[in-house]
Structure 1
Amino acid sequence: MPYLILFVCLGNICRSPLAEAVFAHLVQERGLSTSFEKIDSAGTAGYHVGEEPDERTVATCKKHGVPISSLCRQLQARLESLCKSDFDEFDVIVGMDTMNMANIEKIRPKNSKAKVTLFGVYGDGKVIQDPYYGGPGGFEKTYQQCLAYSEGLLADLGFGKDEVGSAGSESGNGNGRL
């Protein structure tokens, strides 16, 4: 059964769209697209509903060859922040920092099916700080964390770095700990 993954930050213009783009790019590069029904992002606050990702997020993705233009259209189509139905729709909801996690838990309905986790647990355990008020260096650090944590999330789901799909089939078993 294909996975549904949701990345969450505060405003959904910096970290979560960057995480979504990086994760989706890795999935596509490895031929794992059929194993993921939906990869999306949301914010816990409606500050930027309907806005495209921050231009520095877009620039960082372009610098690393990570497509983000179709992501902008998806974000505009979503036009919402995190909502209760997301906890039943998605298999994994990933927060970027402890404030995001607290906000996610406030919204989370009892007995929801989604696994809710801090993105950093799939790597060094660190939070991804909001780069919004910083310079390009903050966005580069965010990119590097998203790349490392995306590798860890894929491994946790049973798709290790060496398990690349070929000719449309996956060699990853998809039997991770989820």
Structure 2
Amino acid sequence: MPAQSSPEIKALVVCLGNICRSPMGEAVLKDIAQKRGIEIVVDSAGTAGYHVGEEPDERTVAVCKKHNVPIDSHARQVSTSDFVRFTHILASDESNLRNLERIKPSNATAEVRLWGSYLDNKPIPDPYYGGINGFEKVYEQCVRLSNAFLDEVTRTSTQTS
């Protein structure tokens, strides 16, 4: 018997510039969802437009490659249409969460939360000004947060179907 079709999960991972945490989060969430057989649309964006059009930081790419996680994105800034296009907007830290809440339009349908709220309420620290170890820690956190997020949204969707 075929499974009931559940609402499609569309997640947007958000950090400040969209070159470190959010593209890594996007890549890791896509990879883990695929390995778990969960259909999901994932994208990433920044609350600021500093790096629009740029590829992810080379350290982000290096860590993803080391862990065999495909990564392919270009930085973009969050737009008000994202609040309707996505079902979940995952902020990397409280500052970005506040920025998202500030620009959230009245017709928003996406659930906007700190990504860490799905697990331990911890923000993802910005590794930009540090070394490769900070990027490794962000990767490990993205793995834990991806699993926690997928656990919650798949549990919720099976309860409502």
**What TM-score do you get using the length of structure 2 for normalisation?**
0.90
Q: Is the 8 A contact 1:9 1:16 kept in 2?
A: yes
Whole-angstrom distance in 1 between the partners of 2:14 and 2:37:
25
**Which residue of structure 2 lines up, in the alignment, with residue 47 of structure 1?**
50
What CA deviation, in whole Å up to 9, does each residue of 1:43-101 have, x standing for no partner? 00000000000000000101111111xx23xx2xxx63101110011000000011101
Whole-angstrom distance in 1 between the partners of 2:111 and 2:145:
16
Which amino acid counterpart does residue 175 of structure 1 have in structure 2? Answer: T
Q: Is the 8 A contact 1:46 1:81 kept in 2?
A: yes
Which amino acid counterpart does residue 3 of structure 1 have in structure 2? Answer: I
Identity of aligned residues (%): 51
| Structure 2 residue corresponding to 1:30, chosen from 36, 48, 63 | 36
Q: Is the 8 A contact 2:18 2:56 kept in 1?
A: yes
| Structure 2 residue corresponding to 1:129, chosen from 125, 129, 138 | 125
What CA deviation, in whole Å up to 9, does each residue of 1:22-49 have, x standing for no partner? 00001111222xx32x210000000000
| Structure 1 residue corresponding to 2:135, chosen from 133, 139, 148 | 139
Give the root-mean-square deviation of aligned CA atoms. 1.6
- 4+ residue runs of structure 1 moved beyond 4 angstroms? none
Task: Pick closer, same or farther for the CA change 1:176–1:5 going to 2, 3 Å.
Answer: farther
Where structure 2 has 5 or more consecutive residues not aligned to the other structure, the ranges are 1-6
**What TM-score do you get using the length of structure 1 for normalisation?**
0.82
Which amino acid counterpart does residue 23 of structure 1 have in structure 2? Answer: L
Whole-angstrom distance in 2 between the partners of 1:130 and 1:176:
35
Q: Does 1:89 align with 2:74?
A: no
Deviation at 1:112, TM superposition (A): 1.1
Q: Secondary structure at the match of 1:157?
A: helix
Write the mapping of 1:70-81 to structure 2, written as runs, cut at 5 A: 71-72=72-73, 75=74, 80-81=76-77
Which amino acid counterpart does residue 62 of structure 1 have in structure 2? Answer: K
Q: Does 1:12 align with 2:29?
A: no
